[in-house]
Structure 1
Amino acid sequence: MPAATVVLLRPGSGGLEVLLTRRPASMAFGPDIHVFPGGRVDAADADRAALDAAGISEAEAAANLGIGLAPDGGLMPRDALAHHVAAVRETAEETGIVIRAADLIPLTRWVTPASLSRRFDVRFFAAFVPGETEIRGDFDEVADASWLGPREALAAAARGEIEIWQPTFVTLQQLDRLGERADLDDVRAAFAPGTDAGGPLIERLRDDLARVDAPWAAGIPGRRARGWLAGTAEVVVVDPTDPTGATSDAIGVEVAARGARLAGAVITSLAPERHAGVEMLAHGLGLPVAAARGTVPWAPYPVVEVGPGESLPFGAPGFTIEALRSLG
């Protein structure tokens, strides 16, 4: 199901702030979760009248979303513009805040795992609003709302004060990297689509090791990052970066062709490029996740810590992995 999410940003006294809304406890899907405003793309968002009133063209919308730079489920320019229309509409419906399609900065793409009761293919956008902007009105899908700095929000999640999902976690990480005084140009540059087209590539280097060249690095179109498959009969995925499912699907085909099975995932750091795609494995396939002790102070998924020289708690008996260098 196509959907759009908007990360509303404003300048605050302490620096950049982001709007997080809490879903009501009565919601069937994601009760009490803190999220960015957004929702599904409705059929009416693709009506000719809605598209003509958007203020940007289909070609501009397609370029914004990096269509053709990575496997995107056959998204067409008209669909891309409908996502922009939905982003503007959902923001107004859930917060009372009015933005324009031309104000939207494309960020990332996330696809929820098949294991969830509802599956969404979500395009994330950002939009800057004036510093005094507040949510206006009472809304069925919003129980509470707050403006927080990205680092402040991450700390609140780590303390258990708010509950967030993986896409929100990684987006906050990406924004926190930019610093407290980040502006529109900083955000646009940080999330600009790359230029590397094509799908996932898996190159077997030896019987127990393959290199994974993944698209959608940390959800950004046209950007790629490297991961690994380690093991023979019991295969461990190292540093899953792609949150769209394209790479995890390719890995599943590769592992099945070997007559092997996926045993778990390892992340070498909490850099977004190293763990953005872990939800597809941890939640989607129910695989355990391990990391070096002390490298993951908190994450929105269970992590088993492994010390130097210790065997992984999954995979072949006695199996160890040593990361000699990692990003972040």
Structure 2
Amino acid sequence: MKSVNGKIWRNSASLILLSKRYRDFVSCRSGSVNYDVLLQTRAVSASFPNSVVFPGGVAEPVDENVDWLHHLQSFGYTQNDFNAFHLANTPSTPIFQPDPIKRHISLRITAIRETFEELGVLICSRTHKGKKTQLSADLISDIDIKSWQKKVSSNPEELLNLCKEHKCYPDIWSLHFWSNWLSPVALPKRFDTAFFVAALDNEIPQISNNSEVTDVKWSSPQEILEKNLRKELELYPPQAYELNRLIHFSDIDVLVKYAAERSSSGCELIYPVVVEAKDGKIHVLPGDDLYPLNVNYKEGANILHPEKTILELRENCHMLHRLEITSLKEFKTEFVFRNHHPPDHINMGDKIISVNSTLHKNVK
């Protein structure tokens, strides 16, 4: 989609891939969990250079190919199974319009395809619908991963050929819709991204990363956030936010059950609106007292409060859901939550969360 000022955002999908942790299962540390998250460091030449992100990428037209429906139906899936992705009469964010069911299917295929292209992890299944009961994801590893990874990276249409040849299908029912973020107008590249959660049960896949990825690690959400605070790695705000959501769950089974139960209910679009204060900027998020009633996602318009500091604007508001970026002397970035009770997702409580973010380097 192109905005009137010539800037473009592209639809994309990102996968929060979890794996049950068997090492250090019993721990007295605060915030300990029994699962790890897969994150990758992007190369300098890639989108979001040098940052740590979840696997994923841009949607391609082939992800909406009707042949995918026919292929999935050959494994016993029906229109009722497709309809389960989105509850009737439930509002959906723009990324799922004009056909929410079609977009839920295609964006899951995008997330699976991009994860395979980047990491060689193929989230596909050979199990007929009538025999598939678990919420966790299946993996296919008994193929020539590197050869197919190269083919799919060169031509996204090859994923369908892979599935036909090896009698498998993208395990889209193991991906649970989690959130939707749209990049701010000021970023040089904009993405409207659907985030999905998927969990692996026992098998830890072998990683075969491509040239866009320089490092891949499994770590607990708390470990990643602690490294971020120590400035050992940088996170963009969506990744930092979602990792802080994940740590509300110590058990992977509880987390996946929650993700599956809320997946078809949708959620609000998280789009930061910039407020310029005396000593920095605030990215207000939906529900914040300063968030505008009408938002122009294409052009954007900063809200000006040059006479007040970030702290003064915080103290004058009752409901806070924002990212504060103090720009005097040194950059200080913090998520601030107060009295924010989202109707469709986790209540983060009243807290201030420090983040080592690359955002201030990119948003003018």
Please indicate the TM-score interval, normalised by the length of the shorter structure.
0.5 to 0.7
- What is residue 260 of structure 2 aligned with on the other side? 188
- What is residue 125 of structure 1 aligned with on the other side? 196
Q: Does residue 299 of the first structure (1) align with residue 355 of the second (2)?
A: yes
- What is residue 26 of structure 1 aligned with on the other side? 45
3-state secondary structure, aligned to 2:44: coil
Of residues 80, 96, 104, the one that matches 2:104 is: 80
Counterpart mapping for 1:102-141 below 5 A: 102-141=173-212
Q: Deviations over 1:281-324 (max 9, x none)?
A: 999xxxx98969x9535124599xxxxxxxxxxxxxxxxxxxxx
The answer (yes or no) to whether the contact 1:10–1:128 under 8 Å persists in 2 is yes
- What is residue 344 of structure 2 aligned with on the other side? none
Q: Deviations over 1:41-74 (max 9, x none)?
A: 1011111113433566677556536684244253
- What is residue 204 of structure 1 aligned with on the other side? none
Q: Residue 140 of structure 1: CA displacement?
A: 1.9
The answer (yes or no) to whether the contact 2:63–2:109 under 8 Å persists in 1 is yes
- What is residue 115 of structure 2 aligned with on the other side? 91
3-state secondary structure, aligned to 1:120: strand
Counterpart mapping for 1:1-328 below 5 A: 1-13=10-22, 14=25, 15-27=34-46, 29-54=47-72, 64=85, 68-72=90-94, 74-76=97-99, 77-99=101-123, 100-183=171-254, 184-189=256-261, 191-192=262-263, 216=268, 240-241=285-286, 248=292, 250=294, 261-262=304-305, 274-275=320-321, 278=323, 296=352, 298-300=354-356
CA distance in 2, matches of 1:238, 1:121: 17
3-state secondary structure, aligned to 1:39: strand
Q: Structure 2 vs 1, CA of residues 167 and 70 (structure 1 numbering), >3 Å: closer, same or farther? A: same
Q: Residue 216 of structure 1: CA displacement?
A: 1.6
Number of residue pairs the alignment of both structures matches: 250
Q: Structure 2 vs 1, CA of residues 134 and 238 (structure 1 numbering), >3 Å: closer, same or farther? A: closer
Cα-Cα RMSD: 4.2
Q: Residue 237 of structure 1: CA displacement?
A: 8.0
Write the letter of the residue equivalent to 1:250: N
CA distance in 2, matches of 1:93, 1:58: 29
Q: Deviations over 1:120-141 (max 9, x none)?
A: 1100001111344134223122
CA distance in 2, matches of 1:291, 1:173: 12
The answer (yes or no) to whether the contact 1:239–1:267 under 8 Å persists in 2 is no
CA distance in 1, matches of 2:53, 2:215: 11
Percent identity over the alignment is 21
The answer (yes or no) to whether the contact 2:282–2:323 under 8 Å persists in 1 is no
3-state secondary structure, aligned to 1:160: coil
CA distance in 1, matches of 2:268, 2:178: 11
Unaligned runs of 5+ in 2: 1-9, 26-33, 124-170, 276-280, 328-332, 338-349, 360-364
Q: Structure 2 vs 1, CA of residues 49 and 194 (structure 1 numbering), >3 Å: closer, same or farther? A: closer
Write the letter of the residue equivalent to 1:145: V
Q: Structure 2 vs 1, CA of residues 70 and 300 (structure 1 numbering), >3 Å: closer, same or farther? A: farther
The answer (yes or no) to whether the contact 1:111–1:121 under 8 Å persists in 2 is yes
CA distance in 2, matches of 1:188, 1:78: 18
Q: Residue 160 of structure 1: CA displacement?
A: 0.7
Q: Structure 2 vs 1, CA of residues 17 and 297 (structure 1 numbering), >3 Å: closer, same or farther? A: same
CA distance in 1, matches of 2:63, 2:326: 33
The answer (yes or no) to whether the contact 1:84–1:101 under 8 Å persists in 2 is yes
Q: Deviations over 1:145-180 (max 9, x none)?
A: 101111111111111111111111111111100114
TM-score (norm 2): 0.57
Q: Structure 2 vs 1, CA of residues 114 and 162 (structure 1 numbering), >3 Å: closer, same or farther? A: same
3-state secondary structure, aligned to 1:174: helix
